[in-house]
Structure 1
């Protein structure tokens, strides 16, 4: 039960990869020449990250990571947010910390000392190549982010947020996985909600048993998946069959289907919305992250499920209309105009 004696200080606190997004446009031929997986997300080591960074053209550098991008969208929508994630005490760590705080997100996780060795890795980065059709090819060096220890958690901070939002990408390395399990225990003990985004099908391939167990044990209150992630999670090729199977087990299920819109289910009720029209898709980076931001901005206010979906669709459409994974307009004004 919610702790009515201690109302939440934050609407959403997120735990995720603390990485710097480095985004550059490229030609289709560059994807092939560099041996990249078009439209996918590939994990890199430090040497691979340095190689690709040297091959990039002019780029923008901002604090990133899936959950951090969602919080940036939420902050733009007037939601009180805090972030927990691990950076190193280096140049990219300073970029991340300054950038995320500049958009109004509280971030106080201590930096990890670094000496350049494998034991003390530098701040992570995601090298994103965007082709002329707007498709993004992501190549991620997790760096210090995968060493977030449970000891770095501010448990009072976690208990002070109405919603704890967890990034599936960070479930892969062992140390932050233990930290997130502890954070779930803290949030649930405080009567708070736990939201989880699956992040990518390959994460489910590796940790699907964990995710299914958490769903069965009632540890996830709000689950975000896209169509392919849902199929991987359930083994169901039919979207409706997979959706209904999971919807029966989580209080709120949100499933996005790209240009075919999005569906949500809660309390036995189901809603869906169409995708918002976009004049030109420029860059799909962050579409799922901003959909989650739009949805949660409404959910935190107790808005109807269809309205929350509509908010998600508006936020996703805005972010794919320009380069970068975060809003580039006044989102509160845009929501007021569209809703």
Structure 2
């Protein structure tokens, strides 16, 4: 097997994030469920954008955030996500490439508008996300080049992209191409709503051996297993996948692989500002560790460091030097 050109190739929804402060009253008035993500159409996107407060705009999307974190840690990283040939699409591609990420799929003029996510952050740092998928849901399987997939040591996929049928077919093609080349496939459950909608499909992926590394938080794993007891849920899911990674907010994180279990505490922080991207950056740190041959504990530690950095400021992209924060873990 030839050495990979990329450490990690991320595939996901290419979404421009608009992040703004909001209070609980505003969330209630808008009929939203705090802390959850919902899909919206273009009309609702325009309406909500018009009534929410001033926001910070930046390229995002779950796998896009992970790609940015990987690049910040020094990994050779690629990204596949569909944008439109419009202003937001150009901004998204320029932003990703400026981080050192190889942006692989070109913009298209026949896919509507570039996706955006309106993120409302309440004083308790919870984020309520309202996502217009737009062009992101038009990622076609023809855009997946098996040679590009084979050039990555790990291919990382986000569960959010599983919802529309067109990108789902693209993801399935990427999974098959990765395994045909002897590469690993990592998959994140993304959100409990994704699990609730696609539990059977996700279980089919695990049972068919399509996923090598599975990421989920406590709620997602409990939903996946349909177990109220977290330990029972973790045990059930861990039995179906070679490596399971569970993020546990202030309680740290757990990884289980080949009968080995590792646990790390959450990294100390000065102030919790915004949890947007915490799971995405955790995945970046953990995948960096795995790409560089680190053990479970050190990979979890890298994930915890990256997640702790991103929750201390607005936005899902690291602002501090992650390499410096990681210290000897990258040596």
Instruction: Give structure 1 stretches of 5+ with no counterpart.
Output: 115-119
Q: Deviation digits for residues 86-108 of structure 1, max 9, x if unmatched?
A: 11111111111111111010113
Aligned pairs, number: 330
Q: How does 1:173-252 map to 2 (within 5 A)?
A: 173-252=164-243
The alpha-carbon deviation at position 30 of structure 1 amounts to 2.0
Aligned-partner Cα distance in 2 for 1:54–1:92: 17
Q: Deviation digits for residues 276-309 of structure 1, max 9, x if unmatched?
A: 1222110000010011011111111111111111
Give the SS at the match of 2:133.
strand
Give the SS at the match of 1:244.
helix
The alpha-carbon deviation at position 152 of structure 1 amounts to 1.1
The reply to whether residue 11 of structure 1 matches residue 7 of structure 2 is: yes
The reply to whether residue 140 of structure 1 matches residue 131 of structure 2 is: yes
The reply to whether residue 51 of structure 1 matches residue 42 of structure 2 is: no
The alpha-carbon deviation at position 61 of structure 1 amounts to 1.2
After TM superposition, the structure 1 stretch with the greater mean CA deviation from structure 2, 292-301 or 168-177, is 292-301
2:275 aligns to what?
284
The alpha-carbon deviation at position 154 of structure 1 amounts to 2.1
After TM superposition, the structure 1 stretch with the greater mean CA deviation from structure 2, 170-179 or 277-286, is 277-286
Q: Deviation digits for residues 159-190 of structure 1, max 9, x if unmatched?
A: 10000000100000000000100111100000
Aligned-partner Cα distance in 1 for 2:100–2:48: 31
The reply to whether residue 325 of structure 1 matches residue 316 of structure 2 is: yes
The reply to whether residue 273 of structure 1 matches residue 243 of structure 2 is: no
2:153 aligns to what?
162
Aligned-partner Cα distance in 2 for 1:59–1:69: 18
RMSD: 1.3
1:108 aligns to what?
104
After TM superposition, the structure 1 stretch with the greater mean CA deviation from structure 2, 281-290 or 49-58, is 49-58
Q: How does 1:255-266 map to 2 (within 5 A)?
A: 255-266=246-257
Instruction: Give structure 2 stretches of 5+ with no counterpart.
Output: none
Aligned-partner Cα distance in 2 for 1:27–1:201: 23
Q: Deviation digits for residues 120-159 of structure 1, max 9, x if unmatched?
A: 4211000011112211111100001111110111221111
TM-score (norm: length of structure 2): 0.97
Q: Deviation digits for residues 238-274 of structure 1, max 9, x if unmatched?
A: 1111111222221111001111111101111001111
TM-score (norm: length of structure 1): 0.95
